[in-house]
Amino acid sequence: MAYAQRAAALALLAGVSLAHATGTTLTLKTDGYTSTGTHAVTTVTNGWNTEKVDAGTFQVSTNLGASFMVYCAEITQYTSSSFQTYTVGTFGLADQKLLEGLFSSVATFTGSTKVDSSTEYAAVQLAVWEIMHESNSKLSLGYGMGSFYVNDTTTAGVSLANLANSYLTAAANWTGPSLVKVDKLSNSSY
* pLDDT tens digits, one per residue of 116-144: 888 888 899 999 989 988 876 778 888 77
Q: What's this model's pTM, rounded to 2 decimal places?
A: 0.82
Q: How far apart are CA 55 and CA 52, in angstroms?
A: 10
- 36 pLDDT higher than 50: no
Whether the CB-CB separation of 121 and 57 falls below 8 Å is answered with yes
Read off the pLDDT of each residue in 98-104 and give the average, rounded to a whole number: 95
Whether the CB-CB separation of 171 and 128 falls below 8 Å is answered with no
Cα separation values, 37 from 10, 40, 118, 120, 187, Å: 20, 8, 6, 11, 27
Helices (H), the chain: 93-107, 118-133, 155-173
